[in-house]
């Protein structure tokens, strides 16, 4: 298949580019790239745009396949990809969600200022590391089997709250209130449930983390005030997903869809884009199982937040106060949403793989307290640079099916970065910059700042495009690597 070159791409605006439908015969819609020219040149280095073109071939796809500025090559969909398919007959593709169903981020805010925390960072990072099981094959403190597991899969974050992890108020600050109602635990395999049985409250490995940050800069005073953010304030960022349970749901249904696809006469350019009509039996089974896995992920992050709160209390006692949930948002998920397409509202199945929902002011889907300013969009950078809090804007619903970037975007492989980074030296360098890192040397090297694109450039592109507004910049103080 021919590789996408810059000459194949036409500029629509400074930050929006398009590969026309005529690029390949099997495209149903054009493919669009949200990026400035510098990022576009980087993006052209890997095969993510060819993957974007493949996504444009999905049955029932609407308007355009899209990538955010943090895009990089994945499998099937590129990471940072968004696609909306017609409801109910359009395709649903597990490859458009990924193996880590409802991988997402959660931001907890404290009442402490940077100066009150910085002398306790070493103790805090060790306490967080002790409280939160992380790394491969590590079991959590919570075990769920049988009917209890089914309850987790139905109730999501609510199950955690009912069992003493966090408060009822938290639920309104979680995307979809931490629970997708279509979830059906009977469609989740025994293998998946077994894999998840001891994984609630665990981070996992790879790029997952818990990070203590302080607010370095406020860009929009009004929105920051609405979110309860101020300069110097210490916050905690949590990044993880549905662990082995979600990975198994994806594996199970990709396999079953592969077998079902010929029956619907669907032909796709990449096996990993396997899909079926959403309203088919196989499509419905996957969607309901995926919703159950998403609920597991929200429950997981709710429990991790309680573990963070325990560590916080151990270090700061009553003076530390509570850690309030600002927002919890998914970046690997499919949801049924209504968007204006061809000048009329249409129900679509929005696939977000490495993309964050970013609804603007007035949306019914966002917490009432944030209704006037838009949904918080949390963008983690890398452990040595910075992260951002943005606010979703109405333009995201016009341009990107209400979606935004999800991070900085990887630019170097784990192998390449390990060759260039001496983990003990990096850990010491970060410590000298006031950033305490806990985790295996292997994990620290793989996630070194140099492995990622410039998050500032990614976020500036997003803001220039108008799909989200910068609210606050966060600087890391302590990082617990998965």
Residues contributing to the annotated binding site for GMP: 207-211, 331-332, 380-383, 387, 406-409, 481
Residues 437, 117: Cα–Cα separation, whole Å = 15
Q: Which residue's CB is nearer to another protein, number 390 or number 421?
A: 421
User: In the chain, what is the straight-line distance between the N-terminal and C-terminal CA atoms, in Å?
Assistant: 37
Query: Counting beta carbons within 10 angstroms of the beta carbon of residue 343, is it exposed (0 to 12), middle (13 to 18) or buried (19 or more)?
Result: exposed
Does the footprint of another protein cover residue 419 (CB under 8 A)?
yes
Does the footprint of another protein cover residue 256 (CB under 8 A)?
no
Does the footprint of another protein cover residue 205 (CB under 8 A)?
yes
Among 16, 130, 191, 394, binds another protein (CB under 8 A): 191
What SS3 class is residue 351?
A: strand
Pairing of strands 233-240, 77-86: unpaired
Stretch that binds another protein, among 134-142, 375-383, 391-399, 460-468 (CB under 8 A): 134-142
Q: Evaluate whether 208 touches 240 at the Cβ level (below 8 Å).
A: yes
Does the footprint of another protein cover residue 254 (CB under 8 A)?
yes
Q: Which residue's CB is nearer to another protein, number 384 or number 443?
A: 443
DSSP 464: H
Pairing of strands 276-277, 332-341: unpaired
Smallest gap from Cβ 241 to another protein, in A, equals: 9
Residues 264, 278: Cα–Cα separation, whole Å = 11
Residues 127, 99: Cα–Cα separation, whole Å = 30
Does the footprint of another protein cover residue 324 (CB under 8 A)?
no
Does the footprint of another protein cover residue 137 (CB under 8 A)?
yes
Does the footprint of another protein cover residue 442 (CB under 8 A)?
yes
Stretch that binds another protein, among 156-164, 269-277, 290-298, 385-393 (CB under 8 A): 269-277
Stretch that binds another protein, among 116-124, 209-217, 270-278, 463-471 (CB under 8 A): 270-278
Contact positions with another protein (CB under 8 A) in 44-63: 46
DSSP 61: B
- # of chain residues touching another protein (CB under 8 A): 43
Q: Which residue's CB is nearer to another protein, number 150 or number 274?
A: 274
Q: Which residue's CB is nearer to another protein, number 247 or number 470?
A: 247
Render 177-206 in DSSP notation, one character per residue.
GG--TT--GGGS-HHHHHHHTT-BT---ST
Pairing of strands 436-438, 468-481: parallel
Does the footprint of another protein cover residue 70 (CB under 8 A)?
no
Smallest gap from Cβ 315 to another protein, in A, equals: 27
* Whether residue 163 lies in the annotated active site: no
* Other Cβ atoms closer than 10 A to 281: 10
Does the footprint of another protein cover residue 195 (CB under 8 A)?
yes
Q: Evaluate whether 373 touches 222 at the Cβ level (below 8 Å).
A: yes
Q: Evaluate whether 339 touches 359 at the Cβ level (below 8 Å).
A: no
CA 305 remoteness from chain centre: 17
Smallest gap from Cβ 45 to another protein, in A, equals: 8
Residues 114, 339: Cα–Cα separation, whole Å = 41
**How many residues can be counted in the chain?**
482
Pairing of strands 65-75, 10-13: unpaired
Binding mask 7-46 for another protein (x = CB under 8 A): ---------------------------------------x
Contact positions with another protein (CB under 8 A) in 89-118: 95, 98-100
What SS3 class is residue 394?
A: helix
Does the footprint of another protein cover residue 272 (CB under 8 A)?
yes
Q: Please give the positions annotated as active site.
A: 406
Contact residues toward another protein (CB under 8 A) are: 46, 72-76, 79, 95, 98-100, 135-138, 191, 194-195, 204-206, 244, 247-248, 250-251, 254-255, 258-259, 270-272, 274, 410-416, 419, 442
């Amino acid at each position: 298949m021919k590789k996408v070159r810059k000459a194949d791409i036409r500029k629509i605006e400074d930050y929006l580019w398009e590969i026309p439908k005529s690029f390949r015969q099997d495209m149903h819609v054009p493919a669009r790239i949200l990026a400035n020219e510098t990022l576009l040149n980087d993006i052209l280095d890997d095969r993510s745009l060819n993957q974007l073109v493949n996504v444009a071939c999905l049955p029932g796809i609407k308007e355009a396949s899209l990538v955010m500025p943090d895009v990089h090559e994945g499998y099937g969909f590129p990471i940072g990809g968004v696609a909306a398919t017609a409801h109910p007959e359009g395709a649903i593709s597990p490859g458009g969600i990924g193996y880590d169903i409802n991988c997402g981020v959660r931001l907890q805010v404290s009442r402490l200022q940077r100066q009150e925390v910085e002398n306790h960072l070493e103790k805090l990072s060790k306490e967080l590391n002790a409280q939160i099981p992380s790394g491969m094959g590590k079991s959590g403190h919570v075990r769920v089997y049988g009917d209890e597991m089914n309850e987790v899969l139905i109730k999501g974050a609510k199950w955690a709250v009912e069992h003493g992890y966090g408060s009822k108020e938290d639920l309104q600050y979680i995307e979809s209130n931490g629970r997708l109602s279509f979830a059906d635990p009977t469609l989740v395999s025994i293998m998946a449930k077994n894999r998840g049985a001891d994984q609630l409250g665990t981070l996992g490995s790879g790029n997952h983390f818990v990070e203590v940050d302080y607010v370095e800069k406020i860009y929009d005073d009004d929105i920051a005030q609405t979110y309860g953010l101020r300069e110097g304030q210490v916050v905690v960022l949590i990044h993880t997903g549905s662990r082995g349970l979600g990975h198994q749901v994806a594996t199970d249904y990709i396999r079953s869809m592969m077998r079902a696809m010929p029956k619907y006469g669907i032909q796709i350019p990449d096996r990993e884009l396997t899909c079926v009509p959403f309203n088919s039996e196989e499509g419905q089974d996957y969607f309901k199982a995926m919703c159950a896995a998403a609920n597991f992920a929200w429950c997981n992050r709710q429990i991790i937040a309680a573990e963070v709160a325990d560590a916080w209390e151990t270090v700061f006692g009553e003076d530390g106060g509570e850690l309030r949930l600002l927002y919890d948002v998914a970046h690997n998920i499919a949801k049924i949403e209504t968007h204006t397409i061809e000048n009329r509202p249409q129900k679509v199945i929005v696939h977000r793989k490495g993309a964050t929902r970013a609804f603007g002011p007035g949306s019914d889907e966002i917490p009432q307290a944030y209704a006037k300013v838009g949904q918080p969009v949390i963008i983690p950078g890398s452990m040595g640079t910075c992260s951002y809090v943005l606010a979703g804007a109405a333009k995201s619903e016009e341009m990107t099916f209400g979606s935004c970037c999800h991070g900085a975007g990887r630019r170097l492989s784990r192998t390449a970065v390990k060759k260039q980074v001496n983990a003990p030296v990096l850990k010491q360098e970060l410590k000298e910059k006031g950033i305490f890192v806990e985790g295996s040397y292997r994990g620290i090297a793989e996630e070194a700042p140099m492995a990622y694109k410039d998050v500032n450039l990614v976020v500036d592109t997003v803001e220039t495009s108008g799909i989200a507004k910068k609210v606050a910049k966060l600087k890391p103080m302590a990082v617990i690597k998965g």
